[in-house]
A and B are shown apart, each in its own frame.
Chain A
């Protein structure tokens, strides 16, 4: 098992600009079932993708691939024609929240929004729209989701991953890569790695991911990587303490961040004394989470947590 995505995931891509095309190509090389694209002015055409297979991905494939991705005018049409059940959003910020809502309206189970820089007000509306709908949104402003050897949705480098036993959830892209890389080198591997994104309003939080990993048979432990801003880590710590039986390791970035400054991510800000790294580390440690002192120690912390 794994969470969110696996070999059966069929992905439609929204936003086929330069970035969208580049990562669609990488996803196909990895073995992800990219089944459709949405591009109103190029509907009815195909986007060709061909290249060398990324053998760190889905096993048992030829050394090269050649795919003609059908393009549709709307997500609804793409779903009807291809049976897509997930989407990935590379749409530019002014239109990205609308793209998320379009995917939800088309009934997709999963929407992964990579776009960075979506206005908060747009995301507030999009989240309101998602209420009561079965669609799960990951992101925005995130690297995506990967189940190694099965499905890669997003911008993470596939080859640093290896199929294994640990779930990874993080607000930061590059820190996810650090954790994944260490877990791979230590032979623990990953079940699924989820980037929940660095924005203040996101679709899925730590608690949601913790619950999924707790319920996943294959996941034996979880690495959670947080950062300053908000209280999502504190809420996750509470959940870990009260409802989780699996060991959890973690890291919090931003101990040295000055208050009142936005540290790169829109959501990474200590304001009014709230959202400090110290408070998060304290809450996590009290909940029995093994918190690494430096990001280089995240893998080791997981080993300690596993006992």
Chain B
């Protein structure tokens, strides 16, 4: 689960990890109202207005409706005009940003609607660094990744100058040791107060990752101020869904407007669904088989419309919901059901399909491939239902048949 920058910063601040002061705003008036207290508290007339969406690249992103407005704006007007000038500029920009569609390198062309802004104090930046805590699958440990190259995409750094990425492994029994934090500080060419502040910062961050069950904490940039302070100028956090049960306060931070409505409906029905751009809907049991089904459709010249794993113990109701979700997608020209029954019995799936089609209706061709436990009973149920279903003998056969029926060969 992802959260917004302002929420990540709130979690960091609560743990004593330095972040700039800021206030979240869901309306233009709230954004304007945030300005004066912020300036009074910090003594700095410069504020930053930041779009809150679950995607990176906001600083360089622009709005579809206002191509000259960026996703993040630094507002220096107060330097000369005082707080009133800042308020006026915030009002003007917030009016353009709120409700508009921000397009960044990570949102795709369709962009994302901005529903919240974060009004933050301006910071006197000396250096921009990169810092992240994430799982290293090769060692089964969380690691800290740090780099002198802050403010740019870390993938680019990894490719072009991999020697500028530092790593430290977090032993789950110990946490990040002080010497490791010092080594990182040294590697980042920090000294004096900045080095001490960095070490404190990174130890606290490593601890937060473990205690909050994050999948990823990424701070890009982590800034060193001219006075040697170290703080998170940006903050991205994603959480392990399987651990949310022990963090109800974080689970509450979920912003459902950031999620695809079909994917959300599927999740609520206990299904794993991901929408894609193709025309062949897929309904499969098992994640690996569901991916392989998409791959096979592509292999024979088609494009999958979705990933859908009904899991190992789907009920007839879940199959119906799955059908509803697939058929709601206007791009879908045909459906391929691919089941290898292990625990899931083919007769149960067959009953589910028949019920689903009766309830939902079906206007596109349907190919069903059943294999495994109770396969004969399953096939019989479908045959006797009188549904217009094409049977397939294998995954490949099914993929070829659905393509032929839909004429979707590209």
Chain A min CB distance to B85 (Å)? 40
Chain B residues within an 8 Å CB radius of A293: 299
Task: Determine, out of B86-94, B198-206, B340-348, the stretch whose residues face the partner at the interface.
Answer: B340-348
Q: Is B149 an interface residue (CB 8 A)?
A: no
In the complex, A200 Cα to B215 Cα: how many Å? Answer: 11
Q: Does A295 contact B (CB under 8 A)?
A: yes
Interface string of B353-383 (1 = CB under 8 A from A): 0000000000000000001110000000000
Mark out the residues of chain A between 264 and 307 whose CB falls within 8 Å of any chain B CB in the assembled complex. 264-268, 272-273, 277, 293-297
A155-B288 contact in complex given A120-B215, A255-B298, C-beta closer than 8 Å: no
| B398 nearest in chain A by CB position | A296
- B294 CB contacts on chain A under 8 angstroms: 256-257
B84 within 8 A of A: no
A272 and B154 contact, CB distance less than 8 A: yes
Q: Which residues of chain A are near B246, meaning CB under 8 Å?
A: 94, 119
Write the chain B residue with the least CB distance to A121.
B213
Within 8 Å by CB of A124, from B172, B215, B291, B371, lies: B172
How far is the CB of A122 from the nearest CB of chain B, in Å?
8
Contact B155 A175 (CB under 8 A): no
Min C-beta distance of B214 to chain A, whole Å: 9
Instruction: Tell me if A171 is interfacial: C-beta within 8 Å of chain B.
Output: yes
Q: Any chain A CB within 8 A of the CB of B148?
A: no
Interface residues of B in 144-176 (CB under 8 A from A): 154-155, 158, 171-173
B291–A227 touching, CB < 8 Å? yes
Please state if A264 and B309 are interface contacts (CB–CB under 8 Å): yes
- Closest A residue to B300 by beta carbon equals A294
Q: Is the CB of A155 within 8 A of B343?
A: yes
A123 to chain B, nearest CB (A): 7
Chain B residues with Cβ below 8 Å from A228 are 291
Q: Is the CB of A296 within 8 A of B396?
A: yes
CB contacts (< 8 Å) of B307 on chain A: these are 257, 261, 263-264
| A272 partner residues in chain B, CB cutoff 8 A | 154-155, 158
A154 CB to nearest chain B CB (Å): 10
With beta carbons under 8 angstroms apart, the residue of A124, A231, A254, A265 that contacts B295 is: A254
- Is the pair A263, B287 in contact by a Cβ cutoff of 8 Å? yes
Binary per-residue interface labels of chain B (219-239) against chain A in the complex, 1 for a CB within 8 Å, 0 otherwise: 000000000000000000000
Name the interface size band of chain A.
35 or more
**Residues of B contacting A174 in the complex (Cβ-Cβ under 8 angstroms):** 284-286, 288-289, 340, 342
Contact partners of B291 in chain A: CB under 8 A: 227-228, 253-254, 256-257, 263-264, 268
Given contacts A121-B213, A173-B288, A294-B296, is CB(A93)–CB(B242) below 8 Å?
Answer: yes
**Inside 8 A of A107's CB, which chain B residues have their CB?**
none
Please encode chain B, from 69 to 102, with 1 for each CB lying within 8 Å of some chain A CB and 0 for all others: 0000000000000000000000000000000000
Instruction: Contact check, A124 vs B140: say whether CB atoms are below 8 A apart.
Output: yes
List which B274-288 residues lie within 8 A (CB) of chain A: 274, 276, 284-288
A201 x B309 contact (CB < 8 A): no
The number of residue pairs between A and B whose CB atoms lie closer than 8 Å in the complex comes to: 165
In the complex, B22 has a CB within 8 A of chain A: no
CA distance A93 to B135 in the complex (A): 19
Whether the Cβ atoms of B299 and A177 lie closer than 8 Å is no
Residues from 38 to 68 in B contacting A, C-beta threshold 8 Å: none
Within 8 A of B (CB), among A203-237: 225, 227-232, 235
Are B299 and A120 in contact, CB atoms less than 8 angstroms apart? Answer: no
Interfacial chain B residues near A257, Cβ < 8 Å: 291, 294, 307
- A39 interface residue per 8 A CB criterion: no
Q: How far is the CB of B150 from chain A (nearest CB, A)?
A: 16
Determine if B288 and A296 form an interchain contact, defined as CB atoms under 8 angstroms apart. no
Total interface residues on B, CB under 8 Å, equals: 54
Contacting pair B240 A155 (CB below 8 A)? no
A175 & B289 in contact (Cβ 8 Å cutoff): yes
Contacts of A253 in B (CB 8 A): 288-289, 291-292, 295
Residue of A nearest to B393 (CB): A296
Give complex CA distance A155, B373 in Å. 12
Known: A258-B274, A263-B307, A294-B395. A173 touches B243 (CB 8 A): no
CB neighbours (8 Å) of A128 from chain B are: 141, 171-173
CB atoms of A120 and B155 under 8 A apart: no
| Contact indicator A294/B289 (Cβ below 8 Å) | no
Q: What's the Cα separation between A121 and B340 when bound, in Å? A: 32
Check if A201 sits within 8 Å of B340, measured CB to CB: no
| Known interface pairs A121-B213, A256-B304; A177-B340 also in contact (CB < 8 Å) | yes
Q: Tell me the smallest distance from the CB of A45 to a CB of chain B, in Å.
A: 26
B138 at the interface (CB under 8 A from A): yes
A123 to B142 Cα, complex, angstroms? 11
CB 8 Å contact bits of A114-158 with B (1 = contact, 0 = none): 000111111111011000000000000001000000000001110
In the assembled complex, B290 has its CB within 8 A of some CB on chain A: yes
| A175 & B288 in contact (Cβ 8 Å cutoff) | yes
Q: Specify which of A173, A265, A296 is in contact with B342 (CB 8 Å cutoff).
A: A173
For residue A198, CB closer than 8 A to chain B, the reply is yes
B240-252 near A? 1/0 per residue, CB < 8 Å? 1011011000000
Q: Closest approach, in angstroms, between the C-beta of B142 and any C-beta of chain A?
A: 7
Q: Is A30's beta carbon under 8 Å from chain B?
A: no
Bound complex: CA A231 to CA B210 (Å): 23
Q: Is the CB of A296 within 8 A of B286?
A: no
Given contacts A256-B298, A294-B396, whether A120 and B213 have CB atoms under 8 Å apart is: yes
Residues of A within 8 A of B243 (CB): 119-122
Q: Determine which of B272, B285, B288, B395 lies in contact with A170 in the assembled complex, contact meaning CB atoms within 8 Å.
A: B288
Which residues on A are within 8 Å of B, measured CB to CB? 93-94, 117-125, 127-128, 143, 155-157, 160, 170-175, 177-178, 181, 198, 200-201, 225, 227-232, 235, 251, 253-258, 261, 263-268, 272-273, 277, 293-297
Among all A-B residue pairs, the 6 with the closest Cβ atoms:
A172-B288, A264-B287, A174-B286, A119-B243, A174-B289, A296-B396
Besides A227-B287, A263-B291, A264-B286, 17 more A-B contacts (Cβ < 8 Å) are A119-B243, A120-B243, A121-B240, A124-B141, A157-B373, A160-B372, A175-B288, A177-B340, A253-B289, A255-B295, A255-B298, A256-B295, A261-B274, A264-B290, A268-B291, A294-B395, A296-B397
